[in-house]
Amino acid sequence: MEPRALRACSTRTGRARAHRAKWAALLAAAVLIVAGCGSSAPAKKDFASSYATTIGSYRSEFTSLQDKARLAIGSDLDTELGVFAHMGDVTHTTLRALRALTPPTSIRPTYQRLLVTMTQQESSLQQIQSSARTNDQTALSAALTTYASDLQNVAALQQQVQDATAPTTTHS
């Protein structure tokens, strides 16, 4: 092989490794962020219990993605994209369930921010998949960064809503 061909091959291999490393780091962070926000406190009637059930399912699904992510890293592009597609499906299903709920007036602004941020998270997942398919590394890097930020915001907002709907205890 000519030196130029070897350099090109080496550069592609290096980029592929860097690409896989980004995916691995993001998947690990995503699972840890979502899984770490659990709580199983009894909730107020209707909204609170439905919300807790929906978010509990969401967190459980993302936790199960940790094993899938570990197996997918280093696999072919379709396998890696499959993990992100699953994340998108889980996010979409959760959003649909959350939109069907009517939060108490006192937490409605926070709840609406949660829905908006989860919608942004869903869009980021779609952008990740699109950028990866077209091998647009700049767009992929931007989408991964946006997704990580959205995921952190979603986790914080989920917890705020859950805390606001948790029963209060009084001590005499």
What is the predicted pLDDT for the residue at 171? 53
What is the predicted pLDDT for the residue at 30? 54
What is the predicted pLDDT for the residue at 47? 92
What is the predicted pLDDT for the residue at 77? 81
pLDDT tens for the chain, 172 residues long, are 555 544 544 555 556 666 565 665 565 555 445 444 444 433 345 899 999 999 999 999 987 876 776 677 667 788 878 888 898 999 999 999 999 999 999 999 999 999 999 999 999 989 988 988 888 889 988 988 998 899 899 999 999 999 998 876 555 4
Each domain of the chain, given as residue ranges in start order, spans 16-165
CA distance 84 to 87: 5
What is the predicted pLDDT for the residue at 42? 37
CA distance 119 to 98: 11
CB atoms within 10 A of CB 156: 15
Give phi and psi for 38, each to the nearest 5.
-80, 155
DSSP-assigned states of every residue in 90-106: HHHHHHHHHHT----GG
What is the predicted pLDDT for the residue at 43? 38
Rg of the Cα trace of the chain? 19
Residue 26: closest CA among 160, 145, 164: 145
What is the predicted pLDDT for the residue at 90? 93
What is the reported pTM? 0.71
Percent of the chain that is helix, strand, coil (3-state, to 5): 80, 0, 20
What is the predicted pLDDT for the residue at 126? 92
What is the predicted pLDDT for the residue at 118? 95
